[in-house]
Amino acid sequence: MDTIQAQNNLLRECLRKQLDEFHMLSSIFCNPGELHVDNYSFIDNINAYVEEETKHLKAKLDYQLNLPLLEAEKVQIRVELPHLYPGIEMPLFVVRSVIFSRDQERAISEKIENYIREEVLDLSEPYVYQVISWIQDNFSEIANSIAKTKEFTDLPNPANFTANLTFERLWIYSHHLKSKTKRQMILKTAKDLDLSGFSRPGKPAIVCVEGRQQDTQEFWRTVRPLKWQKIQIKIAETKVLEQADTLDECRRFVGFREELFTEVDDENDEEVPMSMSLFMKFLDRHESSYIRKEIFGFEQVDDEI
């Protein structure tokens, strides 16, 4: 019993330090959009656990910083904290930008891990802000060192990345999507990769993701291995961006969210038939009505399926 109590006390102390650090970061990075949390209910749950108001810890604390480290765009720094940070476990940092491939992002994460091991003197106290400050102060050097690494020498130069950037929109069709775990993974993966679009759970299931091609393909590599009765990419639309183009100008959707296309509220929302009329109106609003024939094999229909 003493051992269990000691473990619980350690866990609560780590989580308390995480919350204190998060609130400190919120006061430092207080400009609109600088510090983003996908779901604030996770913070409420962690706080309730720390205060011993609940015994159920639902999720880990993670958040995203959007910082102007490049002249043309903001760089995303994703921070994912294991429950026993600080002290026992090390946080995960992912730095995302259009100038980095997924392999380069992993290499930067490794650099950050090395920095933590070599430069953070007291791992028992929070150090996310120290790492963020180091990334801010050394971003150009980090980016250049990654670009000069042998396996990355053929990748686009950060100075003219827009000329080599490919935008992609994937329309994915599945026999059905009912698992809440899959639904949550789809939402989280799309948001982590800065993809816009929507997911329609139920039968049939339709998912649309758009963004950098390397991110849409990473999304597909993540969701495809999940257990599906049937899943396939119905349409893949790509565009190589020219210097004057921007990624956001190609998007037809803002953010990524679930869309049910139902006219009634039901606890088992994925079981409610999809209103084709609502779905078609949704496609029209987002300049995507042409996909109805590719996905369903018809031009127009008002019945429900």
* Contact between residue 115 and residue 134 where contact means Cβ atoms under 8 Å apart: yes
* Contact between residue 146 and residue 108 where contact means Cβ atoms under 8 Å apart: yes
Strands (E), the chain: 35-36, 61-67, 75-81, 92-96, 166-174, 196-200, 205-212, 231-240, 256-258
Select the more confidently predicted residue: 60 or 133: 133
Residue 115 has pLDDT above 80, yes or no: yes
Which of 158, 181, 162 has the alpha carbon at shortest distance from 250? 162
175-213: per-residue pLDDT in tens?
A: 888 888 788 888 888 888 889 999 988 888 889 999 988
pLDDT value of position 21: 96
* Contact between residue 73 and residue 59 where contact means Cβ atoms under 8 Å apart: no
Domain boundaries, the chain: 2-158, 165-296
Mean pLDDT in residue range 268-280: 67
**What is the residue type of 115?**
Y
Select the more confidently predicted residue: 153 or 237: 237
Residue 244 has pLDDT above 50, yes or no: no
Phi, psi torsion values for 253, nearest 5 degrees: -120, 155
Considering the chain, what is the average pLDDT of its residues?
Answer: 82
Structural fold of domain 165-296: Alpha-Beta Plaits (3.30.70)
Mean pLDDT in residue range 151-178: 68
Range with lowest mean pLDDT among 14-28, 156-170, 185-199:
156-170
Select the more confidently predicted residue: 128 or 265: 128
223-257 CB burial, b ≥16 within 10 A, e <16: beeeebeebeeeeeeeeebeeeeebeebbebeebe
Mean pLDDT in residue range 21-50: 88
Compute the distance between CA of residue 120 and CA of residue 116 in angstroms, rounded to an integer.
Answer: 5
Residue 45 has pLDDT above 80, yes or no: yes
Fold match flag (2-158 vs 165-296) = no
Residue 161 has pLDDT above 70, yes or no: no
pLDDT value of position 243: 54
Domain 2-158 superfamily per CATH: Ubiquitin Conjugating Enzyme (3.10.110.10)
* Contact between residue 185 and residue 177 where contact means Cβ atoms under 8 Å apart: no
Residue 304 has pLDDT above 50, yes or no: no
Select the more confidently predicted residue: 65 or 242: 65
